[in-house]
Amino acid sequence: MMNVNTEKCIGCGLCVKDCFLRDIEIIGGKAKINNKSCIKCGHCIAVCPKDAVSTDEYNMEDVKNYNKEEFLVDADNLLNFIKFRRTVRQFKDKEVEEEKISKIIEAGRYTQTGSNLQDVSYIVVREGLQELKALTLESLKKLGEDLLANLTPQTMMFKRYAEMWMRMYEDFNLNPNENDRLFFNAPAVIIVTANSDVNGALASSNMELMTNALGLGTLFSGFLVRAAQDNKKIMDFLGVKEGKKIVTCMVIGYPDVKYFRTVPRKKADISWK
């Protein structure tokens, strides 16, 4: 539950004003959290000028006081950082340190979730990569065969993917180490799962920024996400928790390619009302 240290509280009312669910009131000049509609979002902890609010549900050692030098990010630099990011499909034969993987996941952990559900989970695959590749390519091959056997005008656009999946499967079986066009011989994969697609996708976006900030590169593998749908072997291998779905698959490693500039994009499609 959320708690107020009445000795520190000065009754300023900032927590009351910032509580979206109106679960805080001022009684006798002190804040009182009713803990009835509270979703543990932590706004009251963050907004209190006297550090009078805490919770016994989460680790309060995670809380850091704001200071400009460590928290401020220049807006133009951030925009350039986003523009410069590239999907990476060339990786060095170099392991990714566990500390860096933990920091990437930390960026996901601190991403906002609807109603503060914090429903995002992470599965890190390193030792089991070859088995995951085999299961995924087997699933993609079956999907490709089924698609080609039942082509319609509506599914004709996916014909090239079906043919690609079948070639990927065959090439991988010929030489698994050289013909990896699924994970491109990256040393690690992070599977992001959640109850909500939106929550998982938001976390993944922040995780990608952290990946690039750490000097790593990433590829979002939509092929694995597709292969895992309704595939019990893959879901059991990964240990996806009941009620959760695979939202993204982040293939991670040290880039073996160097880019020198950003790339152009379509103009933004904006409607001003």
CA distances 270 to 79, 225, 266, Å, are 18, 30, 12
Domain assignment present for residue 165? The answer is yes
Read off the pLDDT band of 14 (50, 70, 90).
very high
Structural domains counted in the chain? 2
- The parent domain of residue 24 ranges over 2-62
Task: Report pTM.
Answer: 0.94
Q: Which residue in this structure is represented by tokens 């160097």?
A: 258
Whether residues 35 and 97 fall in one domain: no
Whether residues 162 and 117 fall in one domain: yes
CA distances 131 to 119, 138, 172, 211, Å, are 27, 11, 12, 24
Which of 18, 39, 62 is the last residue before a domain boundary?
A: 62
Q: Please say whether the dihedral angle defined by the alpha carbons of residues 216, 219, 220 and 226, taken in this order, is positive or negative.
A: negative
Q: What is the per-residue pLDDT across 186-228, written as a single tens digit (0 to 9) for each?
A: 999 999 999 999 999 999 999 999 999 999 999 999 999 999 9
Residue 30 CB neighbour total at 10 angstroms: 16
Domain assignment present for residue 243? The answer is yes
Q: What is the per-residue pLDDT across 234-254, written as a single tens digit (0 to 9) for each?
A: 999 999 999 999 999 999 999
Whether residues 78 and 193 fall in one domain: yes
**pLDDT at residue 177 tops 90:** no
Query: Across all residues in the chain, what is the average pLDDT?
Result: 97
Query: At residue 125, what is the residue type?
Result: V
Q: What is the per-residue pLDDT across 103-156, written as a single tens digit (0 to 9) for each?
A: 999 999 999 999 999 999 999 999 999 999 999 999 999 999 999 999 999 889
